Amino acid sequence: MELIKEDDGLEPVSPSGQYLNSKVMSVSILGILELEIPIDDSQAMSFFRDIFLPINPRFSSIMVTGEKGARKWKKVGVNMENHVHVPSFSSPKGSSSPSENDSFLKSYISQIAMQPFPQGQPLWEIHIIKCPTSEAQETLIFKLHHALGDGYSLVAALLSCLQRADDPSLPVTSPSVKKFSSANKDDRNIGLRKVVSRCFSPLVNTVRDFGWSLLKSTCVKDDLSPIRSGSESLQPYSVSTITFSLDQIKEIKSRLRVTVNDVISGVIFLATRLYMQRVSTNSNLSTNSTALVLLNTRNLRDYKPVRDMVRPNSESPWGNHFAFLHVPIPKVKPSDSQFSDPLKFVHKTHEVIKRKRSSFGVILTGKLLEIMQKCRNAEYLQAVAKHISRTARNSSMGISNVIGPIHKLSLANHPLRGVYFTVAGIPWNLLITIFSYAGNLRVAVGAEQGFIDSELYNHSLLDAFDMILRDACQKQ
C-alpha cells in the first residue's frame, strides 16, 4: 500500500472498500461475457480505454495511505497493457476442441480468482480468451475488486457501456424490482385477533431474525456436511454453469403462487439435499445447514445511470450496500429419502423469506454493518472484516442473485450470447451466483476443488429443477 505525505483533496475510501480489501479478506467479482463472434482487438482496446475506463474515477485510482493512516483513492495514469491480458495456449491454434477449451477456461478462471491484484495499479483486470468454447466464440472476463462497488454498481456500469444487440438506439432495459409489502390492502373484514397478530408478529420476527443473525455471525456454526468442511482457509475452486428458462421458472411461480426467487432458491436447496444424499449414502439430510443470501439494501426499483449513482445523496448510491439473510436449508426426514414432495422446498423457502421480509431483521443487520463502518479506525475495520468472514465461514453456502437485462446486448458491436458472474475471496466451500439475461437464468456453481464434486452437484441441480417443474405442472 502506497504511503503519501500529502493527502488533501483525495477521496476517502469507504469503510466497506477498506474491509473488503484488507489483510483479513480481499474479495473480487468476476463477470464472464460470452461473445457470439471473435472480438476485434482494435475495437476492444478502444472500448476499454474510451468507454469502460471513464465510467467511474475509481477505475483509474489506487488505494493509498495518508499520514494519519486513512486510506484514500488517488488518481493515477492507466497503462491498458497492464490490465488487459490475452492468455496463450499450449496447443496449436485451432487444434483444440471446444470441450478442451471449456476445461482450459474453467482452470483459467480458477487460477485468476486466486491471484491477488498487482500492487500500485487500479483494482481491475480484463482477460480475453481467444478460443471457441461450447458456449461462445470468445470469452471476456472482467475481474473487478469488490472495493470498487457491489454487484448492483458493477452491473449498472456494465449496462451503461453496452448496447442492445437488436437496436443500439433503444435503451437497455432490465426487469423492475418490485418492493415487497406484506400488508393487506383491506383490513376491514378481519378480526381483532388478526389485526393484533399482524402488528405484533413483525416485532417478534424482527427480534428473532436479528438475534439469530448475530448468533450465526459469532458463535453458532452450521453442522459439518458434504457441502461444509469447516476449513477456515481459502481454497481453489472451479466454476461451472447451468442455464434455466425464465419462462419455465415463471410458470412454476404462477402455479405455486410464489416468487421467482422462491422457485430458484427451492431448486438450489432441493439440489443441495440431493447432492448430500448422492455423494454419501450415509449422509445426514437433517443437518443444520444455512445458506447466506446477500441482499441489496438500496431502496430502488431498477438500475440507475452511473452518473446519478455517483452524485452526492443519491437514492441509489454507488458503492457497497448489502446485508445478509440467513435462510435454513429445509431438512429431509429419513423416511423421505426418495424426496416424495419436492415442492416442499419451494413452499418452505417461500414461508421463511416471507416471514423474514415481514420483519426488520435484514434492515437491522444492514444498519449494524453501517454502524460498524462509521469508525474509520484501521483496527476496528479489521474487526469488521473478521466479522463478515466469520459470518460466511459459519454458514454452509452462499447465494447471490443479480438481475440482468431483458434483451440481448452487444459490446462494441460484438453480441453477447451469455453472461454470468462469480465471487472470489470468500471462504465458502460452495457458492451459487445467479444472473438473468435475455430470457434465461444462468446459475454459476463455485465449488471448492477436491471437496465438492461440481459435476454431481450440477446434475443434482438439473434433477431438482425437473422434479419441481413436473410436480408444479401437475398441481391443479
Plot region of 175 (φ>0 → left; ψ -120 to 50 → alpha; else → beta)? beta
CA dihedral sign, ordered 135, 141, 147, 153: negative
pTM above 0.75, yes or no: yes
Total domains in the fold of the chain: 2
Identify whether residues 346 and 259 lie together within a single domain.
yes
Question: β-strands 290-296, 397-402: how paired?
Answer: parallel
Distance, in Å, from the CA atom of 362 to the CA atom of 371, rounded to the nearest integer, reads: 14
> What is residue 201's predicted lDDT score, i.e. its pLDDT?
59
Identify whether residues 119 and 11 lie together within a single domain.
yes
CATH number at residue 293: 3.30.559
Question: For residue range 321-351, what is the model confidence (pLDDT) as tens digits?
Answer: 777 788 999 998 877 777 889 999 999 999 9
Q: What is the arithmetic mean of pLDDT over 83-101?
A: 76
Identify whether residues 209 and 149 lie together within a single domain.
no
Identify whether residues 304 and 380 lie together within a single domain.
yes
Domain assignment present for 183: no
**Which segment of 104-113, 129-138, 153-162, 203-212 scores lowest on mean pLDDT?**
203-212
Identify whether residues 219 and 134 lie together within a single domain.
no
Identify whether residues 198 and 148 lie together within a single domain.
no
Q: Three-state SS for 231?
A: coil
List, in sequence order, the alpha helices (H) in 115-259.
151-160, 192-218, 246-256
Average pLDDT, the chain: 84
Of 225 and 382, the structure prediction assigns the larger pLDDT to 225
Length of the chain: 476
CA dihedral sign, ordered 364, 386, 11, 59: negative
Domain assignment present for 423: no
DSSP class of residue 296 equals E
Residue where a domain stops, chosen among 118, 145, 164 = 164
Q: Could you give phi then psi for residue 208, rounded to 5 degrees?
A: -65, -50
**Max CA pair span of the chain:** 77
Q: Which of 302, 295, 326 is nearest to 316 (CA)?
A: 302
Structural domain of residue 379, as residue ranges? Answer: 192-402+428-474
Identify whether residues 331 and 206 lie together within a single domain.
yes
CATH number at residue 23: 3.30.559.10
**With 90 as the cut, is the pLDDT of residue 436 above it?**
yes
DSSP class of residue 127 equals E
**Quick one: pLDDT band at residue 182, thresholds 50, 70, 90?**
very low
Q: What is the arithmetic mean of pLDDT over 25-50?
A: 92
**With 60 as the cut, is the pLDDT of residue 189 above it?**
no
Q: Which of 441, 76, 424 is nearest to 250 (CA)?
A: 441
CA dihedral sign, ordered 460, 465, 466, 470: positive
Question: Can you read off the three cell numbers belonging to residue 159?
Answer: 449496462
